[in-house]
Amino acid sequence: MSTVTFEVNGSPVEAEKSARRLSDVLREDLGLVATKVGCDAGDCGACTVLLNGEPASACMTAVGQLRGRRVETLEGLDASGEVRSLQSAFLAHGAAQCGICTPGMLVAAAALLRVTATPTERQVMDALGGVLCRCTGYRKIIAAVMGAQEAEVTLPPPPVGKAVGHRVPRVDGERKLNGTDVFGADEAPAGSLTIKIVRSPHHRARFTLSDLDGYVAATLGVVAVLAAADIPGRNRFGAIPATADQPVFAEREVRFRGEAVAMVVGESRAMATLDLSAFPVTWDEMPPVLSPDEALDEGAPRIHDEREGNVLIRGNVRRGDLDEVFAAAEVEVEGAFETGFIEHAYIEPEAGFAERVGERVQVQVTTQSPHMDRVELEAILGVPEGSVRIVPTAVGGGFGSKLDLSVQPYLALAAWMLGRPVRITYTRPESMMSTTKRHPSRMHARIGATRDGRLTAMDFSGEFDTGAYASWGATVANRVPVHAGGPYVWDAYRARTVAVHTNNPPAGAFRGFGVPQSTIALECLLDELADAVGMDRLEFRHHNALVAGVPTVTGQVFTGGVGYRECLEALRPHWDRARAEAASAGEGSPRRGVGLAGMWYGCGNTALPNPSTVKVGLRRDGRIALYQGAVDMGQGANTVMTQICADAVGIDMSAIVTLGADTDTTPDAGKSSASRQTFISGNATYLAATALRERLLALAGASDEAHLELDHARLVVHDRDRATPVDLGSLRADGDDLVAVTSATYDPPTTALDDDGQGEPYAQFGYGAHMAELEVDLDLGTVRLRRITAAHDVGRAVNPTLIEGQIEGGVAQGIGMALMEEYLPGRNENLHDYLIPTIGDVPEVVSILVESGDPAGPYGAKGIGEHSLIPTAPAILNAIRDAVGAGVRRLPATPDRVLAAIEEGAR
Ligand code: FES
Ligand code: FES
């Protein structure tokens, strides 16, 4: 065996001279898992290390090339202290969200700072240009790198009682910055077997598996093959029990390209080079149905026997007499709009491990919905409730797709059946072809108004391609009709949706559940209507904005917390400035454009129960334990809940130990979706923490005004001029060492919708408006963004830094949706061909936080996670139309489509 010797973080390493990837050796042999793997193809930069001081992709570096070379990883840079100021700047600026890209960013930034102590923005963008981030929108990363040479940034902690509203650094930030946060692929028991999934190369096919035993016997390192016949429980799962329809393994027929038919489990080294082309499966390809048009055709094959016409579900909201109001309308506009599949493109592919522990299975996995996973896995395994434990890892981006099962059933099944620990990490193409996407949509809307600019009627219809399986299709079909009319007042309104099955990948939850799509139709037409009645586009929206006390399209009336007008007012000076600048820039190329779009978004499930439970206790060691099961996938739930808990108990934040999700230890806080955690779990935290405060005050017989002080194992209650010490060691504690414990459940007050979609679907809405400033190259059709200004009514900004991070990240995803992203099954299943915004694609983002004080929110707070993406794409499309005189109605607005709009505008 020939070997090579090289240096890793100052220590010599000898390895077999081979084509093995350096990333693999670092992670698997040396345990240096701060080097992340997002693509294994040189596209994402998550694996960036320094090779002889220069940034390089460890996944594209063969170990055989390393003789005598010097490798530095984040672990080394952290241990030497070289990146300390960078790390503290990242923490202070909120530059790490999920943290999966952070090691790559820090390593690339360290190389830059070695040669340029005070880099310019352009230098930072150039240096970090090869590292993708899907969460942050890059702006805070740029600010952190530029600010890293300032004296180490430390933010003062909030005073007691003032944590809410403070720019508290994320409580889990340190481990994201030193590379010790554990993501799905970072850990597995020694000796774990590895799983590989056999997937369909066809959109639709029948298949036969043959001689699996012979295959196992003949294939070196393979321990077992498991398929549908091996599932002891139910071969079916789905996010919504009523529409659950997806098999763990297909039986006889596959319905989309990438669908699993079997898994091969074997020794890790053998599995790393296993060629699945010898797997004994024969395919009988069938003509696929690849669009709703084909699927709705009378002669179309049925994708699911029980779903007539390939319709999963229809949604509907109607209010007022549409015909009558349209007949009286003095001005009308209408238009058709189309969007395609959009891939979540989180940098962390799906990954985890599982092991059988007696009659239970423990699954450590990247997920947004641990308790839902547990229930589904128990059904698949056919085991009693409580037999599965889900331990969520850090989540390297989710955005909705990690609400659905992906690797979990394979892990649980293999561990259960084989009695050995097993692990799996999806490859990037596998992740892209097999997991959910944003629903492609085809929408039509017609809008009427009076000549003096009052909106009167809207008629919306939308077809959503929900792919082969239901996933969250019903949620999209039901949420869109409530939202398609936006935060405006209508005399008459109708919105109809249909979710249609095709042989495309399942479309599911993606930041906004269909609302980003419908908002494009509405907001683009509003610009046309404003022009038709001769009103300023911002004033037109302001004139028609929903306000408190006025019924929404479902007849719901909010008494407060309706801050849309305030968002528009906050944008007004920016709008006036930008319009004036664009006007004075002239008519040549590139031509300036300014666009605006508004949004609203209901936080939580649509008209369904949506409870969250949180537990809080005082430990004997004088720490407050916060058991909060809201998965933090980078959005900041751990930090927000800790802030709320601190203020509700009335204690310093540093006294709180925040324990994240684990189905054995934290109560069910529901899934991290629908922008619900700050609102719903935040309320549960507030209620539990308030109850704990009452219990602690009662221990000392103190009044509501008393101050609490925790001094190691002593609680001191200061009430007016009396200080009562309570020796915690003398109190009886439970198994978790808690001497006082409370838990609380919050379920937002909503009502079911009737046949016309009337009712109270959400207890709160968030509102917002974005303004895009851009330039269009009239010859090339390219678009250069100059600035996005985003105003959001967040109720109360629990943590302004985290909210800005959500806004900037949402804006970046909105830019991708508007200008570059479309997933084409079978054609761009990698991050080379599927483009997401890089650091150079996101312009300055100005965030404006409007605090309307929502009556239902904890301390008045609202959700923001999805809201921030919704208005970006229509604002950009409106700015393109502003520049060239005609709109793009098929997304993304690629240069060819923009050129077509330029041509149309010139006619
Ligand atoms: S993992 Fe190496 S570039 Fe993506
Ligand atoms: S923080 Fe960059 S990918 Fe999540």
User: How many CA atoms are closer than 13 Å to the CA of 705, on its beta-carbon side?
Assistant: 4
CA of 200 to the centre of ligand 1 (A): 25
- What's the mean pLDDT when you consider all of the chain? 96
> Confidence class of residue 151 from pLDDT cuts 50, 70 and 90?
low
Short-list 883, 784, 802, CA closest to 840: 784
pLDDT at 673 (0 to 100): 79
pLDDT at 605 (0 to 100): 86
> Which residues have C-beta atoms less than 6 Å from ligand 1?
37-40, 42-47, 57, 59
User: How many CA atoms are closer than 13 Å to the CA of 623, on its beta-carbon side?
Assistant: 12
Is 397's C-beta closer than 6 angstroms to any atom of ligand 2?
yes
Q: Relative to the alpha carbon of 185, which ligand is closest?
A: 1
Contacts 24+ apart (CB under 8 A), 79-88: 79/9, 82/110, 83/109, 83/110, 84/152, 85/148, 85/149, 85/150, 85/152, 85/153, 86/110, 86/113, 86/144, 86/145, 86/148, 87/174, 87/177, 87/178, 88/152, 88/153, 88/154
897 token code pair: 């489509």
- Collapsing DSSP states into helix, strand and coil, what is residue 20? coil
pLDDT at 604 (0 to 100): 87
Is 347's C-beta closer than 6 angstroms to any atom of ligand 2?
yes
Q: How many residues does the chain have?
A: 907
* pLDDT (mean) for 253-278: 96
**CA–CA dist 596, 700 (Å, integer):** 56
**CA–CA dist 426, 434 (Å, integer):** 10
Instruction: Answer for the pair 47, 35: CB distance below 8 angstroms, yes or no.
Output: yes
Virtual torsion, Cα 440, 446, 448, 454, nearest 10 deg: 0
pLDDT above 90 (res 780)? yes
Contacts of 108 (CB under 8 A, 6+ apart): 45, 48, 55, 127, 128, 130, 131
Least confident of 65-79, 147-161, 163-177: 147-161
CA of 804 to the centre of ligand 1 (A): 28
Instruction: Answer for the pair 421, 187: CB distance below 8 angstroms, yes or no.
Output: no
CB count in 10 Å sphere of residue 11: 8
pLDDT above 80 (res 356)? yes
Q: Give the model confidence (pLDDT) of 733-748 as tens digits.
A: 999 999 999 999 999 9
Give the Å distances, CA to CA, from 190 to 145, 234, 355, 488: 38, 30, 11, 58
Closest approach atom of ligand 2 to CA 346: 3
Short-list 889, 887, 875, CA closest to 523: 875
> Confidence class of residue 670 from pLDDT cuts 50, 70 and 90?
confident
Contacts of 748 (CB under 8 A, 6+ apart): 603, 604, 610, 679, 680, 683, 762, 763, 764, 856
CA of 44 to the centre of ligand 1 (A): 5
pTM of the model: 0.97
Instruction: Answer for the pair 818, 519: CB distance below 8 angstroms, yes or no.
Output: no
* pLDDT (mean) for 57-67: 96
- What is the DSSP secondary-structure string of 337-379? EEE-BB----SS-SEEEEEEETTEEEEEE--S-HHHHHHHHHH
pLDDT above 90 (res 672)? no
Q: Give the model confidence (pLDDT) of 446-455 as tens digits.
A: 999 999 999 9
| Radius of gyration, CA atoms only, the chain | 27
Share of the chain above pLDDT 90, in %: 94
CA of 37 to the centre of ligand 1 (A): 5
Is 99's C-beta closer than 6 angstroms to any atom of ligand 2?
yes
pLDDT at 28 (0 to 100): 95
pLDDT above 90 (res 155)? no
**CA–CA dist 734, 51 (Å, integer):** 52
Q: Give the model confidence (pLDDT) of 889-905 as tens digits.
A: 999 999 999 999 999 98
CA of 98 to the centre of ligand 2 (A): 5
pLDDT at 154 (0 to 100): 67
Closest approach atom of ligand 2 to CA 105: 2
- Collapsing DSSP states into helix, strand and coil, what is residue 187? coil
Q: Give the model confidence (pLDDT) of 633-643 as tens digits.
A: 889 999 999 99
Instruction: Answer for the pair 358, 471: CB distance below 8 angstroms, yes or no.
Output: no
869 token code pair: 């993406």
Q: What are phi and psi of 459, to 5 degrees?
A: -125, 120
Q: Relative to the alpha carbon of 90, which ligand is closest?
A: 2
Specify the DSSP class assigned to residue 223: E
Specify the DSSP class assigned to residue 857: S
Closest approach atom of ligand 1 to CA 60: 2
Closest approach atom of ligand 1 to CA 57: 2
CA 866 vs. chain centroid, Å, equals 8
* pLDDT (mean) for 400-423: 96
> Confidence class of residue 406 from pLDDT cuts 50, 70 and 90?
very high
Which of 36, 39, 47, 97 gets mutated to test ligand 2 (max ligand atoms within 8 A of its CB)? 97
Virtual torsion, Cα 899, 905, 906, 907, nearest 10 deg: 120
| Strand 422-425 to 193-199 pairing | parallel
Nearest C-alpha to atom 3 of ligand 2 is from which residue?
133
Give the Å distances, CA to CA, from 596 to 234, 523, 527, 566: 49, 8, 8, 15
Q: Relative to the alpha carbon of 21, which ligand is closest?
A: 1
> Confidence class of residue 648 from pLDDT cuts 50, 70 and 90?
very high
Which of 22, 39, 105, 348 gets mutated to test ligand 1 (max ligand atoms within 8 A of its CB)? 39
pLDDT at 153 (0 to 100): 60
CA of 69 to the centre of ligand 1 (A): 20
Closest approach atom of ligand 2 to CA 397: 4
Which of 47, 90, 100 gets mutated to test ligand 2 (max ligand atoms within 8 A of its CB)? 100
CA of 46 to the centre of ligand 2 (A): 10
148 token code pair: 């890293």
CA of 39 to the centre of ligand 1 (A): 5
> Confidence class of residue 840 from pLDDT cuts 50, 70 and 90?
very high
Which of 74, 134, 183 gets mutated to test ligand 2 (max ligand atoms within 8 A of its CB)? 134
Instruction: Answer for the pair 767, 562: CB distance below 8 angstroms, yes or no.
Output: yes
Closest approach atom of ligand 1 to CA 47: 2
Q: Give the model confidence (pLDDT) of 465-506 as tens digits.
A: 999 999 999 998 999 999 999 999 999 999 999 999 999 999
**CA–CA dist 411, 416 (Å, integer):** 8
**CA–CA dist 138, 194 (Å, integer):** 35
CA of 496 to the centre of ligand 2 (A): 36
Specify the DSSP class assigned to residue 386: T
pLDDT at 157 (0 to 100): 87
Which of 21, 24, 51, 59 gets mutated to test ligand 1 (max ligand atoms within 8 A of its CB)? 59
Closest approach atom of ligand 2 to CA 96: 1
pLDDT above 80 (res 150)? no
Short-list 302, 285, 450, 349, CA closest to 47: 349
Closest approach atom of ligand 1 to CA 58: 2
**CA–CA dist 513, 480 (Å, integer):** 8
Task: Provide the β-strand partners of residue 591.
Answer: 776
CA of 45 to the centre of ligand 1 (A): 5
- Location of structure tokens 């340190």: 174
Closest approach atom of ligand 2 to CA 176: 1
Is 634's C-beta closer than 6 angstroms to any atom of ligand 2?
yes
